[in-house]
Structure 1
Amino acid sequence: MTHWWQAGVIYQIYPRSFQDSDGDGIGDLAGIEARLDHCVALGVDAVWLSPIFPSPMADFGYDVADYCGIDPRFGTLADFDRLIAAAHARGLKLLLDFVPNHSSSQHPWFLESRASRDNPRRDWYIWRDPAPGGGPPNNWISDFGGSAWTWDDATGQYYLHAFLKEQPDLNWRNPAVRAAMMDVLRFWLARGVDGFRIDVLWHMVKAEGLPDNPPNPDYRPEMGEMHSLLQLHSTDQPEVHAIAAEMRAIADHYSTPGAERVLIGEIYLPVVRLMRYYGAAPGEGVHLPFNFQLIEAAWNARALSRLIADYEAALPAHGWPNWVLGNHDRARIASRVGPDQARVAAMLLLTLRGTPTLYYGDELGLEDVPIPPERVQDPRELREPGLGLGRDPVRTPMPWSAAPGAGFTTGAPWLPLNPDWRTRNVAAQAEDPNSMLRLHQALLALRRAYPALATGDFIGLEADGDILAYERRLGAERLVVVLNLGGWPARFDCEGPVRPLLSTLAGPSEVGHDAIRLRGHEGLVLLREG
């Protein structure tokens, strides 16, 4: 049996930047509801929303002050209920971003925990005395730079935060914390949510005793201070897998045939360690431990061929693959590989075996948007300026049209629009048969028309130079995907007759009986005949 999340395509929306409905320059739930038809026309199956919970916005929603509410900037619970009903009426699933590693320092739990050492919620967070010689309890570094410990004058201890000091880490070794957070999942699942992307899942449990992390022998300053140490003791602890199994059991409890609830884990780990998050047996881990390799890979055919083969070989028998080209934390694919190769990358993402996640705006070929210093919002950039670690450039408003405010807002957008918004927008690309948007629509339509592209087997094909080639098979249906990752023509020898179904480029493709001649930056999907 194939589940919806195996055949489907997930579309990530950054709510602040999708559609503003009230003119304050910030996207909201009513705006997302108004643009759901774009998701349908694009051809995706599920929408994942970055955090929408009440928050002081020290880290734009990843500092949660109430796990069971909606931030007024985005709307109300009633707005959310209308959004989920509207999504379901269109056949779309809706996923939320669950942030379990840390809360906001303004969350009532932390305010109680900070009130006194003997407060019943003191142990809901991670508090420690200073090191014997004074200073922080250990050498751990925040992912945003600086010590992962902040001193609290009132109670005379440090508290741990893997990110900002406004994001104190919850103590998942405390059963009361675990129970409270599992109830959060139940709250939203009972409301009809179709699943969750679990933020920094591999961070959630820390090693007993909180020993120092070892230095990173390969550290270079341009990597950012967080990489000066290896996160050996602050992440990826074995106890986290039992927590994931409990989350999975809750999701499964709310699942029904055809309406399975899905869990997606954010995990930046080497492939061998990533595989553990599927669980030791079926039903014991998250459905999809995010596979970020395409975000970090060298963009050449031989490296990608090895990467894909190694990932497929590493998957457990019960593990379903998934692929990601971009998200709210990393440079956009069009900036990483250029606009021509971004079209080839789209074909790669949407024809590999496994569940693809598409980041809003990538269907338009948006590139990273330059942010003037006075407009920088991201705390990562503000804390470590000049290293290019800021995430604002990939979180800019969606350009819908050439109308004022790009159709995103009638006010002043919270971040600058892409410089070419008057020509690179949804309305313009919908009218252009050769646009990036139309290519994405065609690729997604092809996935529906040919199930082999969505759930079929993957067979790598021998290729040389800049050519990456593979076959997708399901029953008698066989499709060949040939991608030219170079900017010059290349030949691929193909056994047996094939018929081209889709090219990344306009105009006829040169497909012979036993050879395919690809243009520079061309990707092809072909159907085997006979």
Structure 2
Amino acid sequence: MSPEKHAWWKEAVIYQIYPRSFADSNGDGIGDLNGITEHLDYLAKLGIDVIWLSPVYESPNDDNGYDISDYRNIMAEFGTMEDFDRLLAEAHRRNIRIVMDLVVNHTSDEHPWFIESRKGKDNPFRDYYIWKDPGVNGEAPNHWESCFSGSAWQYDDLTGQYYLHCFSRKQPDLNWENPKVREEVFDLMDWWCQKGIDGFRMDVISMISKDQSFPEGPLNADGYSDMFSYVCNGPRVHEYLQEMNRRVLSRYDLLTVGETAGVTVEEAKKYANSEGTELGMVFHFEHTDGAANSDAVFGKWTYTPPKLAYVRKILNKWQLELEGKAWGSLYWDNHDQPRVVSRFGNDSEKWRVKSAKMLATVLHLQKGTPYIYQGEEIGMTNRHFSSVDDCADIEEKNAWQQLVVEQKLIDGKTLLKCFDCVARDNARTPMQWDDTPNAGFTTGKPWLAVNPNYTGINVEQALADKESVFYYYQRLIELRHTLPIIVYGRFKPLLEDSEEIYAYQRLMDGQVLTVAANWTDREAACPLFAADSCEELISNYDVHKEGFLQPYEARVVWEARR
């Protein structure tokens, strides 16, 4: 038997919903909670166990809901608390759990805590945030660059100090050094748990503890320094999470996953340790780091597809090094990442379906809890940016202003090409339900333009085609629910030098599961499927060629070696 401690969230499949773009029930062009409730039967048909909701709290929407002004209220655009309660009840009635997005590294500058904090240095809420005196010549305390370009510090005339914002200037960072802040966070978490939610996805949780000396790093050509080594995996982050676990998490049966920017495998073993003293699992970003695995134009901005050798090396490393020590999460895309079939596969009309199924196979048969991002299960693709006016995301707009307009480091045509490849708006185009106007997402004007290919790629079409990407995902989920080896079996990499094939085995109790996937649009030699005793579990081809994998072919076979 597997030595792994069993847990429901290890055996689950998670479906992320970006509410603004999922389904609009009232025709205002913005997805809402009632729209989600109306499509719960669709998600039940797919077979998922959990919905992770991107933020639905009250927010001025500077960063699409990740700037929260009231943690105990619902954004009016999404509905009411009564609508949320109905969604929760209806999901639970279908045996689907709800995980909330917890954003507590920062708040909105319109949150009552920050409004009070700005009023004066002696205000009781002043130390809820990170305020510093000006540096030399009245400049910012240091030259840290925010994640959204420009300085990470904002000057406030009222008190003559700067506040830290690792993201937008309207997202001031909370001061977790203040025990009152931690108390507030634990209280709001408990409030949601009392409501009956089933867990938390924790936004940039690795950034809650900063190096309190706020050191200056080497300046880059823009005159800024990298802040990440000083704000990620900080000196007290594990202390804070252990306190959170004692105070809240351990009191409920929850799924907890941390978005851990800058995490290493060694740090992940602490965050998601098998003793359960912090979180259940973490998200890492190594395999999606465009700057690391391709020829980046500038920072994250690239138009070069990731190389198999790099992606395989990273994923295999995490599989092997977490074994028996911590639990991992599995994902290709999310609200911050472009569409998987466009980034890692081939979204051409000829190969979209085959490569989408191939990529799903590679991910869902690995060890860890798999995440599906809305639309992934029907093979939705990236969109095309013809102008910066097509962008809604603050990260893209800031990059354009800084890199194209102000510093002239990139020409506009090149940056738009990068947007086509990795921009966050690729994931945020509305869900494609059918081939009616606006893809059945809304009867009004959608907040973000629908991808024009919705007439050929949509849920209605997928449900009518038994060979669609949807039914392939459904089968992968069924296999996970049926075969414990997929959840708890050991991971063994194969063919690690291949430039074309990603292959591995899962091993448990004398059983062997062999997975092989051709990442190219060419036939590739593959020596792994010669045994007559093997049972074919799933493949994206009906007919196989002995000794070879066809373009984007994926095969999974099972055998018992007792």
Same fold flag (TM > 0.5): yes
Cα separation, 2, equivalents of 1:346 and 1:251: 34
Shift of 1:492: 2.3
Q: Does the 8 Å contact 2:132/2:141 carry over to 1? A: yes
Cα separation, 1, equivalents of 2:196 and 2:479: 29
Q: Does the 8 Å contact 2:273/2:325 carry over to 1? A: no
> Which range moves more in the overlay, 23-32 or 328-337?
328-337
Look up the match of 1:409: 442
Matched, 1:528 2:559: yes
1:107-131 CA-to-partner distances (Å, cap 9, x unmatched) read 0000000111111111111111111
Q: Does the 8 Å contact 1:245/1:279 carry over to 2? A: no
1:115-126 correspondence to structure 2 within 5 Å: 115-126=119-130
Amino acid at match of 2:427: V
Look up the match of 1:232: 229
Q: Does the 8 Å contact 1:499/1:529 carry over to 2? A: no
Shift of 1:354: 0.9
Look up the match of 1:478: 512
Cα separation, 2, equivalents of 1:304 and 1:509: 26
1:372-429 CA-to-partner distances (Å, cap 9, x unmatched) read 5334221112212154374222201001111232111111111111111112000101
Shift of 1:295: 2.4
Shift of 1:276: 4.5
Amino acid at match of 2:540: T
- Structure 2: unaligned runs, 5 residues or longer: 295-305, 401-411
Look up the match of 1:366: 380
Call closer, same or farther: CA 1:152–1:465 in 2, change over 3 Å: closer
Cα separation, 1, equivalents of 2:133 and 2:226: 22
1:12-34 CA-to-partner distances (Å, cap 9, x unmatched) read 11000001010001000111111
Cα separation, 2, equivalents of 1:53 and 1:204: 20
Look up the match of 1:63: 67
The correspondence for 1:496, drawn from 531, 543, 546, is 531
1:166-212 CA-to-partner distances (Å, cap 9, x unmatched) read 11111110010110011111011111111111111111121112121
SS of residue in 2 equivalent to 1:413: coil
Amino acid at match of 1:489: E
Shift of 1:470: 1.5
Shift of 1:215: 4.1
Look up the match of 1:343: 357
Cα separation, 2, equivalents of 1:170 and 1:73: 26
Q: Does the 8 Å contact 1:275/1:316 carry over to 2? A: no
Taking every aligned residue pair, what percent have the same amino acid on both sides? 38
1:126-178 CA-to-partner distances (Å, cap 9, x unmatched) read 11111132211111111111111111111111111111111111111001011
Look up the match of 2:337: 330
Call closer, same or farther: CA 1:62–1:288 in 2, change over 3 Å: same
Call closer, same or farther: CA 1:179–1:12 in 2, change over 3 Å: same
1:222-275 CA-to-partner distances (Å, cap 9, x unmatched) read xxx98x5252223321201111112223454333xxxx2021110122533542
Cα separation, 2, equivalents of 1:125 and 1:477: 54
SS of residue in 1 equivalent to 2:118: helix
SS of residue in 2 equivalent to 1:180: helix
1:28-67 correspondence to structure 2 within 5 Å: 28-67=32-71
> Which range moves more in the overlay, 198-207 or 170-179?
198-207
The correspondence for 1:466, drawn from 495, 500, 518, is 500
Q: Does the 8 Å contact 1:447/1:453 carry over to 2? A: yes
The correspondence for 1:205, drawn from 209, 213, 218, is 209
> Which range moves more in the overlay, 128-137 or 193-202?
128-137
Q: Does the 8 Å contact 2:269/2:322 carry over to 1? A: no
The correspondence for 2:114, drawn from 110, 113, 121, is 110
Matched, 1:253 2:268: no
Amino acid at match of 1:509: H
Matched, 1:424 2:457: yes
> Which range moves more in the overlay, 186-195 or 460-469?
460-469
SS of residue in 1 equivalent to 2:90: helix
SS of residue in 2 equivalent to 1:500: strand
Look up the match of 2:489: 456
Cα separation, 1, equivalents of 2:206 and 2:249: 21
Q: Does the 8 Å contact 1:45/1:92 carry over to 2? A: yes
Cα separation, 1, equivalents of 2:207 and 2:121: 25
Call closer, same or farther: CA 1:129–1:300 in 2, change over 3 Å: closer
Q: Does the 8 Å contact 2:34/2:83 carry over to 1? A: yes
Shift of 1:448: 2.1
Call closer, same or farther: CA 1:230–1:107 in 2, change over 3 Å: closer
Cα separation, 1, equivalents of 2:484 and 2:437: 41
Shift of 1:316: 6.5
Amino acid at match of 1:485: W
SS of residue in 2 equivalent to 1:159: strand
Cα separation, 1, equivalents of 2:367 and 2:138: 53
Q: Does the 8 Å contact 2:206/2:259 carry over to 1? A: yes
1:130-529 correspondence to structure 2 within 5 Å: 130-215=134-219, 229=226, 231-255=228-252, 260-278=253-271, 282-296=275-289, 299-315=306-322, 317-337=324-344, 338-339=346-347, 340=351, 341-371=355-385, 372-385=387-400, 386=412, 387=415, 388=419, 390-462=423-495, 464-494=498-528, 496-497=531-532, 498-505=534-541, 507-510=542-545, 516-528=547-559
Call closer, same or farther: CA 1:301–1:60 in 2, change over 3 Å: closer
Cα separation, 2, equivalents of 1:232 and 1:269: 8
Shift of 1:280: 6.3
Call closer, same or farther: CA 1:183–1:458 in 2, change over 3 Å: same
Cα separation, 2, equivalents of 1:102 and 1:416: 29
Cα separation, 2, equivalents of 1:270 and 1:187: 29
1:422-469 CA-to-partner distances (Å, cap 9, x unmatched) read 120001011112222222112222222322122222222346441222
Q: Does the 8 Å contact 1:213/1:233 carry over to 2? A: no
Shift of 1:278: 2.4
SS of residue in 2 equivalent to 1:402: coil
1:306-331 CA-to-partner distances (Å, cap 9, x unmatched) read 32332133226331122110011122
Cα separation, 2, equivalents of 1:318 and 1:88: 31
Shift of 1:293: 3.4
Q: Does the 8 Å contact 1:12/1:359 carry over to 2? A: yes
The correspondence for 1:86, drawn from 85, 90, 100, is 90
What's the RMSD between the two structures over aligned residues?
Answer: 2.1
If the length of structure 2 is used for normalisation, what is the TM-score? 0.87
Cα separation, 1, equivalents of 2:285 and 2:399: 23
Cα separation, 1, equivalents of 2:510 and 2:114: 58
